[in-house]
Structures are given as C-alpha cells and as structure tokens.
Structure 1
Amino acid sequence: MNLLEKEALILEAAQTLETQSADAVVEWAVATFPNITFACSFGAEDVVLVDILQKVSPSTDIFYLDTDLHFRETYETKARLEEHYGMSFVRVIPKLTLQEQEALHGAELWKSNPTSCCNIRKVDPLTNILGKYEAWITGIRRDQAPTRANAKKIEYDVKFGLVKFNPIADWTSEDVWNYIREHDLIYNPLHDQYYPSIGCEKCTRQVLPGEDPRAGRWAGFEKTECGLHK
C-alpha cells in the first residue's frame, strides 16, 4: 500500500472508527496492518490497551522505552504484567548508557536540558523501533493535554512516517479507571500516590490537588511532551 492509498484509507476509516469501541479499533488495526506494534509506558491507559491486545491479538509486539530512569514501581508493574499474561515486552534502549550520556553532555542532563535528554533516551530509540513497523498503537487521550485534543483514532503520523492508532482517544480518565476496576487490572501503584502521569523518576513529581494532571511532568520547564507525540 503506497502513501496515497494509506491516506485515502485513513480519511475514510477515521470517520468510521470514531464511533467504534476501543476493542473494535484494535481489531481493525491489527487486521488491516498486521505489521503493527504498541508502545507501552505502563501507565493506566496503557495497561488497558495491554489487556485489550492480549484478548484481541496476543501475538502483536508490545515494546517499552527503557530509559534506565524509570521508577522502581514502573519496572515492577512491567514484571507483574508479563507474569500475569505470560508474555514479554520488547525492551528498547538508547544508544548511550547513562554514563556515556554524562561524559558527552554533562551530569544530570534532565536538569539542564530535558528536551535533549528525552531525545536521546526516548525519541531516537522510538524512531529506530518504529522503522520496523507500518503502524503503531498508543494510549493517548484527547483530554490529557491541549497538544492531544485533536487526536483521531486513526491518523498518519508524519513525524515517524507510519499509521498511528489511538483507540481510547475519546475516553475520559474515569473511563480508564472504570475499565481497570471492572477487569481487575494490574496497574502502577504510583497512580494511588498522586502520580496521574508517570514518566522518568528524575522528571516526574506528585500532582497537588487542583493542578493539571500533567503538571507533575518536567515541573519548572516550559515542556509538556517528551516528543513522542506531535
């Protein structure tokens, strides 16, 4: 399928899939684009999609970006999910170790230039892994941030050059947690400690009552996204 054919398919499917359930979107995605993957960060939205994928297409690759800077609870959540579903997540690592990064860019780059740190430890590895696929699935929702407000359930990802599916784009946080409770899903315990959005330990803090749910990410910087999503 060439780019023009994909664009035509996406435009038509965007209207149809908008009214479909997350399960139906995932089913259509894996049937239409067998060479597809899911990017998992082990947050609440992502454990929902792990559960859906394990029911719909358990052979679909699910990868995670191991920055070497995640919370202990995040790594433990990954291990618990693998044991529960009897599967393994694909580990994607940066080209530079933390020691090599420090030698080249100085100590604690996340403090002096978090965008550069994200590029090295997240964006570049993501670019490399997505180059192996023709489509990917994410857990972004429209009400998470203004930068995600126009996300469609299917769209062409210009930045990475492949088709992108956002099956729960129209879900609210309440929808996510209702699904987690209803299906008794494993989730990151940091969510119970005022961490609605969980990234690297160095750049994530607790969110105070009344704050935006993503206020805990890169606090003190004019930065709201790591660069994985446009």
Structure 2
Amino acid sequence: MAPVAVESSSLPPANSLSKDTKISLTPEHLKFINSQLQHLEPEQIIQWAILTFPNLYQSTAFGLTGLVTLDMISRMRPEYAKQHPIELIFVDTLHHFKETLALIDRLKARYPSAKLHIYKPENCETTEDFVKNYGDRLWETDESSYDFLVKVEPIQRAYDELNVRATLTGRRRSQGGKRGDLDIVEVEEFTGLVKINPLANWTFKDVHNYIKEHDVPYNELLDRGYRSVGDWHSTQPVKEGEDERAGRWAGKAKTECGIHETSKFAKYLSAKKQSQPAEVAV
C-alpha cells in the first residue's frame, strides 16, 4: 500500500472518544486529505480510514457498493476474515423489499464476524406499528416527515448511541445527482461526522464486476433491473440508458432520502434533542 501523507498520530486510539468529543478537520486539512486520497485504490482508502479514525463504522443499505466494501475489508488481512474490524449499521425503514431483508441473512452467513447493528423508526418494530403511530402512506402525505422518521432519525440515533465519529459509505460519483462531485472524505455540516467514500471513483460496472468476480451475495432485485434499491414504494427498475439511480423517486427532482442531507433536517434534530429530558444526578 502506498504511503499517505496524513498525520493521524495525534488522534486517540479507536473507540476511546467520549460522546462529547468530535474529530476536527479544517477545510485546508480536508482539502489536503482529499488530494492525497484521490488517486488511491478503494482498499488503500479503507485501510487508511481504519488506521486513522477512532470509532469508525460502515453505514450501509447493502447496495452493491456497500457489499464491495464489506467484502474488501474481509480480504485485506487474514485476521480480518476471522474478526471483521468494522461494525456495520443498517437502517430498517420497515418498508424494505423482502429481497433486501433476505440478503441480510445471506450476508450474516457469509461474513459471520461482521457485527451488524439494525436500527428502526423510533418506537416501531413492525410496519403495522409505524402505520398506527404515523398513518398510512406517509411518504405521500408528508414526504419530509417520512424521510426523517424512517431514515434520518434512526441513523442519527445509531451514530449517537454507538458513539460513531466516522463512517464508510457506499456513495459514488457515477451515481449522479448531488453525488457527481463527491469527495473521498467529507465532514457532515450539522453533526461533524466524518464520512469516507472509498469507492467514489468507481462506476456501476466496476462494482458489478467485483461482485461477480468474488461471488459476493447481492440483492436478487439487481437481476430484475433494479440498480439502486431503497423502499419498495419509491423504487423501480432502471430502463436501458438511464442513470443508475433513475429508479429512485422516479418522476421527482429528489435524488437523496435525507441520510446524507443532515443539514436539511437540522431543525428536526435540534427539536428532538431539546425535547429529551435532562439527566438529573441523584
């Protein structure tokens, strides 16, 4: 692995940060880091992230890119196959395709040492619970509230409860939309969370070829034309010649679910934190 000229010796060891501690990167430092990582291979970027950031996780919906990341990590070192070094976070929106949920069981069998944390909408275990609490077809009647309740709030709760300070994502520039000018490393504006996009430079063909070459379990919907899979009600197959994520929210200008648009939901998050009772020492 080629050396990366990034100082990390000043960072505390993994999983040692308190909940009130944030990793601070200046714009100049962030620009320098991205210039150093831009031309490295995904495996090199992932290994750099593992060595550099404490409290590092992988947040994934088990799309193709996330699956490549998971498999790459398992192959990096012999000990990684026996003890996966990165814990995973999956948000179960309670509106996933059955094929997506079935994939999770196959992945657990393939990568048994990879610890998986599953988060659901608050106070909901089933779709029926969600409908009871928030009404039917909320994604049609109040799309922003739906995105916050099933995606943004659960992932932010996961970050908070697990004390996540940096996370690997599956975003790529070739996915288009707001991801077209994606950096390798970003800092979330509202929370200060560091996001690393190790496969930002790869295309759909690149990730698909990797999946086939290494026989990585993948979502069966891929073989039915679904190149990007989200909730069942807002995902459809992609037509020939369309962008990879054209099947998400088809007919709308929307390209993101909110998980990567935290600043958009900053007021929701602030209101939620302020409504939580303060801890009282007794």
Q: By the TM > 0.5 criterion, same fold?
A: yes
Question: Which of the residues 117, 120, 144 maps onto 1:90?
Answer: 117
- Note the 1:132-143 alignment, pairs <5 A: 132-143=163-174
Q: Secondary structure at the match of 1:64?
A: strand
The alignment's TM-score, normalised by the length of structure 2, stands at 0.76
Query: 1:168-221: CA deviations, max 9, x gaps?
Result: 001111111121122121111101101011001122112222333222212343
Rounded Cα–Cα distance in structure 2 between residues aligned with 1:12 and 1:19:
13
Greater gyration radius = 2
Deviation at 1:26, TM superposition (A): 0.5
Segment of structure 1 superposing worse, 101-110 or 191-200 = 101-110
Deviation at 1:85, TM superposition (A): 1.3
Moved over 6 A (4+): none
- Note the 1:8-27 alignment, pairs <5 A: 8-27=28-47
Q: Paired residue for 1:130?
A: 159
Rounded Cα–Cα distance in structure 2 between residues aligned with 1:119 and 1:4:
25
Rounded Cα–Cα distance in structure 2 between residues aligned with 1:104 and 1:3:
34
Rounded Cα–Cα distance in structure 2 between residues aligned with 1:139 and 1:55:
18
Distance 1:104 1:221, change over 3 A: farther
Structure 1 contact 96–120 (Cα < 8 Å) conserved:
no
Q: Paired residue for 1:198?
A: 229
Tell me whether 1:166 sits opposite 2:193 in the alignment: no
Rounded Cα–Cα distance in structure 2 between residues aligned with 1:73 and 1:40:
16
Segment of structure 1 superposing worse, 189-198 or 108-117 = 108-117
Rounded Cα–Cα distance in structure 2 between residues aligned with 1:12 and 1:94:
38
Q: Secondary structure at the match of 2:25?
A: helix
Q: Paired residue for 2:185?
A: 154
Structure 1 contact 130–136 (Cα < 8 Å) conserved:
no
Q: Paired residue for 1:65?
A: 91
Gaps spanning 5+ residues in structure 1: where?
A: none
The alignment's TM-score, normalised by the length of structure 1, stands at 0.92
Distance 1:14 1:112, change over 3 A: same
Rounded Cα–Cα distance in structure 2 between residues aligned with 1:28 and 1:15:
14
Q: Which has the higher contact order (CA 8 A, sep 6+)?
A: 1
Deviation at 1:128, TM superposition (A): 1.6
Q: Secondary structure at the match of 1:6?
A: coil
Rounded Cα–Cα distance in structure 2 between residues aligned with 1:75 and 1:201:
12
Rounded Cα–Cα distance in structure 2 between residues aligned with 1:104 and 1:93:
14
Deviation at 1:76, TM superposition (A): 1.1
Deviation at 1:110, TM superposition (A): 1.6
Q: Paired residue for 2:103?
A: 77
| Identity score, percent | 34
Question: Which of the residues 147, 150, 154 maps onto 1:121?
Answer: 150
